[in-house]
Amino acid sequence: MYKDIISYELAENKTKEVLLKVAEQIVNDWMKNQIGFIKWEIHMNNDGGYTDIVYWKSKEAAELAEKEMVNIPNAAEWFACYKPGTITSKNLTTIAAF
């Protein structure tokens, strides 16, 4: 399994409720149709920021979806949720689970 880990802060005029509504639309309209997509979790951090974990069957599936991001419906509404300059990301590949 492969995971995209994305941390960010919300844009000043956005609320958690707006983020969740837009994220649900993205999942239903685009993400669930991507090959290898498993699930997307949104977490609130202790400092008020957010960390998303997007689960993929493989690194290749995640990379293919990344290339397809130009086709996301309502992408502008989604990207407007993020405070510019606060987005960081990393990737994890599961090697063992106990």
Dump pLDDT digits (tens) for 21-74.
999 999 999 999 999 999 999 999 999 999 999 999 999 999 999 999 988 988
Reference 92, options 67, 69, 59; nearest CA is: 59
CATH topology of domain 2-93: Alpha-Beta Plaits (3.30.70)
What is the domain partition of the chain in residue ranges? Answer: 2-93
12 contact partners, CB below 8 Å, separation of at least 6: 83
Say what the pTM is: 0.91
